[in-house]
Chain A
Amino acid sequence: MTTTLKILKYELRDVIRSRSLLLYALFFPAATELLFRFGGSSQRALLSLASVTLLVVPLISVVLGTMHVYNAREFNELLLSQPVNRRQLFGGLYLGLALPMAIAFVVGVTVPALAHGLNGGATVVTVLLLCATGVFLTGIFTAIAFAIALRFEDRVRGMGVALLVWVGLAVVYDALVLAVANEFHAWPLERPLLVLMLLNPVDLARVTLMLNLDVSALMGYTGAVFREFFGGVMGTAVALAALSVWLAAPLFDGLHVFARKDFQGS
């Protein structure tokens, strides 16, 4: 068994028993259940669920990811004083949080959705895509949180920066893009807007979902452009590929910082 798996084994035991993960694991079944019960058609319920996912998954991933790094700081030093390599520890630490969060999300969404029965193949695909994007967002924002928290010694500043990144990507970004588009509506904006969207994982996730939900109302302006440009399957493939890049980039960055960091202590 490699060192990463050994660390993961115990990290998982710790994280799975934590109160914050329990609450997170309860949130999605509750939300899914509520939306299916009161949301009208399952199509509409899934749509609302998608909007909730796009906001909540990045937020909780950022918050728990940052806290995880700061809370484990001293313990990591103890682990690093064993014959443990930093890269292996980073892997165990990251997967130890991202994996249970992703599983909690997938189970929390899938089980109630299946229990309510799905009408037609379209929604099965949608549930699958919702799971995929949720897993991507969990991985991406946990990695972003790690990369930020490892850079800032001060936990309040680290958490502040991480939350700012969340606000920027999940809330402000699309509004800004819309404003820009509005301002320059006389210009051919498709390509610049496309680039803008590839630069934001939340937008990418949104597009992936909305392209397949057949609704443009909640797509945001960038989504509408993207759809026009790529159409369904191709757009989804490009968006998922871009999400993979978005996952890899902060992960490698965090790993790099962790491998070179001086653990100065308090």
Chain B
Amino acid sequence: MIHLESISKRFGEVDVLRGVDMEIARGRVTAIVGPNGSGKTTLIRMLLGLVRPDSGRIRWGEEVLNGDCRYRERVGYMPQIVRFPENLSGHELLAMITDLRDRPASDDELIRELDLEKDLGKPFRALSGGTRQKVNAAIAFRFSPELLILDEPTAGLDPVSARTLKAKVRRQRDRGRTVVITSHIMSELESLADDVAFLLDGRIRFHGSQAEVKQQTGEVELEGAVARLIRTGGAQ
């Protein structure tokens, strides 16, 4: 569905991405994995238009993403951490995003399942980090986006909420939504990811289904498989 074509990006002296080619498949959960500094964050931010490639292009179907912001109507993003405006309440924030999207929210399941309603009247300065993270999650799913981008989604969530969120991700996938996810918790990706894209030194060194990674590396668990990929530089 989404094609990254020879994407390169340099920040100062550092080549963060050096010719990334990959396709993110529709209706699947793609995990982007790789060691720290491998370019995962930059890649995700490029899908969102927060970082622009020096060369190469990103296509969504036939549409080339060229700085026009409208495609983001179809994207839901859950960043690793957000500092929401301290003096706004959850309700106000949800209203703000609804205003900006210019259409009614279509999925408030997470608000119910994460038991958020009772906290939405309070200003963000009065909410715990975990509760803010739940709001963050709820926003990402609220408009039933075609593409969900989740950056370390369970960081800061309690186990129950993390479980709820993971179940939600699976349900969205089963409804044909596309999910891109990064996480340092391999067991979490193991239970979620259909596909794994392994990024090292700014290049995709491996991209295939989870079964294929395990088969290629001869490992039973995803954690072992990714560790092996990192050790061998992706070459098998």
Inter-chain CA distance A153–B51, complex, in Å, is: 14
Given contacts A75-B82, A83-B100, A85-B69, contact A10 B50 (CB under 8 A): no
Residue of A nearest to B102 (CB): A83
| Contact (Cβ within 8 A) A7 B45 | no
Knowing A3-B100, A13-B88, A83-B100, say if A74 contacts B69 (CB, 8 Å).
Answer: no
> Please, which residues of chain A bring their CB within 8 A of the CB of B81?
74
Q: Which residues of B contact A (CB under 8 A)?
A: 11, 41-42, 45, 48-52, 69-73, 75, 77, 79, 81-88, 92-93, 95-97, 99-102, 123, 136, 139, 149
Please measure, in the bound complex, the distance between the C-alpha atom of A18 and the C-alpha atom of B86, giving whole angstroms: 8
Which B residues lie within 8 Å of A85 (CB)?
69
Q: Are A80 and B48 in contact (CB under 8 A)?
A: yes
Do residues A263 and B51 form an inter-chain contact, with CB atoms below 8 A?
yes
Per-residue interface assignment for chain A, residues 232 to 266, with 1 indicating a CB less than 8 Å from any chain B CB and 0 otherwise: 00000000000000000000000000000011110
Q: How far is the CA of A162 from the CA of B200 in the complex (A)?
A: 38
Q: Which residues of A contact B (CB under 8 A)?
A: 1, 3, 6-7, 9-11, 13-18, 71-75, 77-86, 262-265
- Taking CB atoms, residues of chain A closer than 8 Å to B52 are 262
* Closest 6 pairs between A and B when the two form their complex, measured CB to CB: A17-B87, A81-B77, A14-B85, A263-B50, A10-B96, A262-B51
Question: Given A81-B77, A264-B42, A264-B45, does the pair A14, B69 have CB atoms closer than 8 Å?
Answer: no
A262 touches which one: B11, B75, B85, B93 (CB < 8 A)? Answer: B11
Residue numbers in A under 8 Å from B84 (CB-CB):
75
A6 touches B96 (CB 8 A): yes
**A10-B92, A262-B52, A265-B45 as given contacts; A83 in contact with B101, CB under 8 Å:** yes
Known pairs A81-B48, A82-B72; A71 contacts B83 (CB<8 A): yes
Query: For residue A6, which residues in chain B have a CB less than 8 angstroms away from its CB?
Result: 96, 99-100
Closest chain B CB from A86 CB (angstroms): 8
The answer for the CA separation of A100 and B228 in the assembled complex, in Å, is: 56
Question: Whose C-beta in chain A lies nearest to the C-beta of B49?
Answer: A80
State whether A81 touches B83 (Cβ < 8 A). Answer: no
Query: Which residues of chain A are within 8 angstroms of B97 by Cβ–Cβ distance?
Result: 82
Beta-carbon contact of B73 and A83 below 8 Å: yes
Is chain B's interface secondary structure helix, strand, loop, or mixed overall?
mixed
From B49, B86, B95, contact of A14 by CB (8 A): B86
Contacts of A1 in B (CB 8 A): 99
CA distance A262 to B77 in the complex (A): 17
Report yes or no: B83 in contact with A262, Cβ–Cβ below 8 A. Answer: no
- B88–A14 contact, CB under 8 A? yes
A83-B85 CB under 8 A given contacts A6-B100, A264-B42: no
Chain B neighbourhood of A80, CB < 8 A: 48-50, 69
Give the complex CA separation of A199 and B41 in angstroms: 42
CA distance A79 to B93 in the complex (A): 11
CB distance from B119 to the nearest CB of A (A): 18
**B42: which A residues are within 8 A, CB to CB?**
264
- What is the minimal beta-carbon distance from A15 to any residue of chain B, in angstroms? 8
When C-beta atoms are compared, the residue in chain A nearest to B53 turns out to be: A262
* Contact, CB under 8 Å: B41 / A265: yes
Q: Is B87 a contact partner of A18 (Cβ separation < 8 A)?
A: yes
A84 touches which one: B79, B88, B100 (CB < 8 A)?
A: B100
20 contacts between A and B (CB under 8 A): A10-B92, A11-B85, A14-B87, A15-B87, A73-B83, A74-B79, A74-B83, A75-B83, A77-B50, A78-B79, A80-B50, A82-B97, A83-B100, A84-B69, A262-B45, A262-B52, A263-B51, A264-B41, A264-B51, A265-B41
Q: A14-B88, A83-B102 are in contact. List 5 more A-B contacts (CB 8 A).
A: A6-B100, A17-B123, A78-B136, A262-B50, A262-B52
Residue from the set A71, A73, A265 with the largest chain B CB neighbour count within 10 Å: A265
- The answer to whether A83 touches B92 (Cβ under 8 A) is no
Is there an interface contact between B69 and A83, defined as CB atoms closer than 8 Å? yes
Q: Which residues of the other chain, B, contact A79 by a CB distance below 8 angstroms?
A: 100
User: What separation, in Å, do the CA atoms of A73 and B99 have in the docked complex?
Assistant: 20
Q: Which residue on chain B has the smallest CB distance to residue A17?
A: B87
Please measure, in the bound complex, the distance between the C-alpha atom of A263 and the C-alpha atom of B45, giving whole angstroms: 8
Decide if B100 touches A13 in the complex (CB within 8 Å): no
CA distance A265 to B136 in the complex (A): 16
Tell me the minimal C-beta distance from A174 to chain B in angstroms: 38
In the complex, the answer to whether B82 meets A81 with C-beta atoms within 8 Å is no
Q: Are B87 and A83 in contact (CB under 8 A)?
A: no
Q: Closest residue to A88 on the B side, CB-wise?
A: B69
B54 and chain A: residue at smallest CB distance: A262
